[in-house]
Chain A
Amino acid sequence: MDHNASVSIRNLYKIFGANPVAALKRVRAGMSKADLMNEHRHVLGLSDINVEMKAGEITVIMGLSGSGKSTLIRHVNRLIEPTAGEILVNGENILDFGEARLRDLRRRQMSMVFQHFALLPHKTVLDNTGMARAVRGEDRAAYEQDARKWLDRVGLGGQESQYPHQLSGGMQQRVGISRALTSNAPIMLMDEAFSALDPLIRTDMQDLLLELQKELHKTIVFISHDLDEALKLADHLVILKDGIVVQQGEPQEILLNPNDPYIVDFISDINRARVLRVRSVMDTSPAEAPSTAGKVDADDTLESVIALSGGDTALSYEVHRDGAHVGFLNMKKLVRALVPMQAAENGM
Chain B
Amino acid sequence: MATYDFIFNGLGLRDWCDQDATTGPMSMADLLAGSGGGQAEKTMLQSLWELPFPSLDALNQACPAISRSRDLTRGLEESFLNVKDPLKVVLDPITQPLSWVLETALQIFTTTPWWVMLPLLLVLVWVASRSWALMGFVATALGFLLFVDHYTFAMQTMSIIFVCAFLCVVFGVPIGIAMSRSDTMQRISIPILDMLQTLPTFVYLIPLIFLFSVTEPKLYGIAIILYAIVPVIRLTDLGIRLVDKDVIEAAEAFGMTRHQKLVRVQIPLALPNIMAGVNQTIMMSLAMVVIASLVSAPGLGVLVLRGIRNLELGVGLMAGLGIVLLAVILDRVTKAALARVNAAASVPRH
Residues of A within 8 A of B (CB): 77, 79, 103-107, 110-112, 114, 116-122, 131-132, 135-136, 163, 165, 183, 189, 196
The yes or no answer to B54 lying at the interface (CB within 8 A) is: no
Complex Cα distance A107/B260, Å? 13
Complex Cα distance A165/B349, Å? 7
In order of increasing CB-CB distance, the 8 nearest A-B pairs are: A107-B255, A106-B255, A118-B250, A112-B253, A118-B246, A122-B345, A103-B255, A122-B268
Residues of B within 8 A of A (CB): 244, 246-247, 249-250, 252-257, 260, 264-265, 268-269, 344-350
27 residue pairs bridging A and B, Cβ less than 8 Å apart: A79-B249, A79-B253, A103-B257, A106-B253, A106-B255, A110-B253, A111-B253, A111-B254, A116-B246, A117-B246, A120-B247, A120-B268, A121-B269, A121-B345, A121-B347, A121-B349, A122-B268, A122-B269, A122-B344, A122-B345, A132-B255, A135-B256, A135-B264, A136-B255, A165-B347, A165-B348, A165-B349
Q: In whole Å, how far is B271's beta carbon from the nearest beta carbon of chain A?
A: 8
Complex Cα distance A189/B346, Å? 28
Contact A104 to B255, CB < 8 A, known contacts A121-B347, A165-B346:
yes
The contact of B254 among A116, A163, A183, A196, by CB within 8 Å, is: A183
Q: In whole Å, how far is A163's beta carbon from the nearest beta carbon of chain B?
A: 8
Write out the residue numbers on chain B whose beta carbons fall within 8 Å of the beta carbon of A77: 253
Write out the residue numbers on chain B whose beta carbons fall within 8 Å of the beta carbon of A118: 244, 246-247, 249-250
Are B346 and A121 closer than 8 Å at their CB atoms?
A: yes
Write out the residue numbers on chain A whose beta carbons fall within 8 Å of the beta carbon of B255: 103-107, 132, 135-136
Chain A minimum-CB-distance residue to B346: A165
Write out the residue numbers on chain B whose beta carbons fall within 8 Å of the beta carbon of A116: 246, 349-350
The contact of B253 among A117, A121, A189, by CB within 8 Å, is: A189
Q: In whole Å, how far is A173's beta carbon from the nearest beta carbon of chain B?
A: 12
- Most chain A CB atoms below 10 A, which of B244, B246, B255, B265: B255
Write out the residue numbers on chain A whose beta carbons fall within 8 Å of the beta carbon of B252: 79, 106
Q: In whole Å, how far is A41's beta carbon from the nearest beta carbon of chain B?
A: 22
The contact of B265 among A103, A117, A120, A165, by CB within 8 Å, is: A120
Q: In whole Å, how far is A279's beta carbon from the nearest beta carbon of chain B?
A: 36
Are A112 and B345 closer than 8 Å at their CB atoms?
A: no
Complex Cα distance A79/B250, Å? 10
Q: In whole Å, how far is A149's beta carbon from the nearest beta carbon of chain B?
A: 19
Are A114 and B347 closer than 8 Å at their CB atoms?
A: no
Q: In whole Å, how far is B266's beta carbon from the nearest beta carbon of chain A?
A: 11
- Most chain B CB atoms below 10 A, which of A112, A121, A165, A183: A121
Chain B minimum-CB-distance residue to A128: B250
Complex Cα distance A118/B347, Å? 12
The contact of A114 among B249, B268, B269, B344, by CB within 8 Å, is: B249
Write out the residue numbers on chain A whose beta carbons fall within 8 Å of the beta carbon of B253: 77, 79, 106, 110-112, 189
Complex Cα distance A183/B250, Å? 13
Are B256 and A112 closer than 8 Å at their CB atoms?
A: no
Complex Cα distance A227/B244, Å? 29
Complex Cα distance A79/B344, Å? 30
Q: In whole Å, how far is A63's beta carbon from the nearest beta carbon of chain B?
A: 20
Chain A minimum-CB-distance residue to B248: A118
Complex Cα distance A17/B199, Å? 41
Complex Cα distance A334/B247, Å? 48
Q: In whole Å, how far is A109's beta carbon from the nearest beta carbon of chain B?
A: 10
Complex Cα distance A131/B250, Å? 10
8 additional A-B pairs beyond A111-B254, A132-B254, beta carbons within 8 Å, are: A77-B253, A79-B249, A104-B255, A116-B350, A121-B346, A163-B346, A165-B346, A165-B349
Complex Cα distance A163/B249, Å? 20
Complex Cα distance A111/B254, Å? 6
Complex Cα distance A117/B348, Å? 13
Q: In whole Å, how far is A234's beta carbon from the nearest beta carbon of chain B?
A: 22
Q: In whole Å, how far is B290's beta carbon from the nearest beta carbon of chain A?
A: 38
Are A135 and B260 closer than 8 Å at their CB atoms?
A: yes
Chain B minimum-CB-distance residue to A100: B257
Q: In whole Å, how far is B232's beta carbon from the nearest beta carbon of chain A?
A: 20
- Most chain B CB atoms below 10 A, which of A103, A104, A136: A103
Q: In whole Å, how far is A87's beta carbon from the nearest beta carbon of chain B?
A: 15
Contact A131 to B254, CB < 8 A, known contacts A116-B349, A165-B347:
yes
Are B246 and A106 closer than 8 Å at their CB atoms?
A: no
Q: In whole Å, how far is A139's beta carbon from the nearest beta carbon of chain B?
A: 14
Q: In whole Å, how far is B270's beta carbon from the nearest beta carbon of chain A?
A: 11
Q: In whole Å, how far is B273's beta carbon from the nearest beta carbon of chain A?
A: 14
Complex Cα distance A79/B252, Å? 8
Complex Cα distance A110/B254, Å? 8
Complex Cα distance A121/B264, Å? 11
Q: In whole Å, how far is A138's beta carbon from the nearest beta carbon of chain B?
A: 13
Write out the residue numbers on chain A whose beta carbons fall within 8 Å of the beta carbon of B269: 120-122
Complex Cα distance A174/B349, Å? 16
Q: In whole Å, how far is A123's beta carbon from the nearest beta carbon of chain B?
A: 8
Write out the residue numbers on chain A whose beta carbons fall within 8 Å of the beta carbon of B344: 122
Are A114 and B250 closer than 8 Å at their CB atoms?
A: yes
Complex Cα distance A165/B252, Å? 22
- Most chain A CB atoms below 10 A, which of B253, B256, B264: B253
Complex Cα distance A189/B256, Å? 17
Write out the residue numbers on chain B whose beta carbons fall within 8 Å of the beta carbon of A136: 255
Complex Cα distance A116/B256, Å? 19
Write out the residue numbers on chain B whose beta carbons fall within 8 Å of the beta carbon of A131: 254
Write out the residue numbers on chain A whose beta carbons fall within 8 Å of the beta carbon of B264: 120, 135
Write out the residue numbers on chain A whose beta carbons fall within 8 Å of the beta carbon of B265: 120
Q: In whole Å, how far is A190's beta carbon from the nearest beta carbon of chain B?
A: 11
Q: In whole Å, how far is A114's beta carbon from the nearest beta carbon of chain B?
A: 6
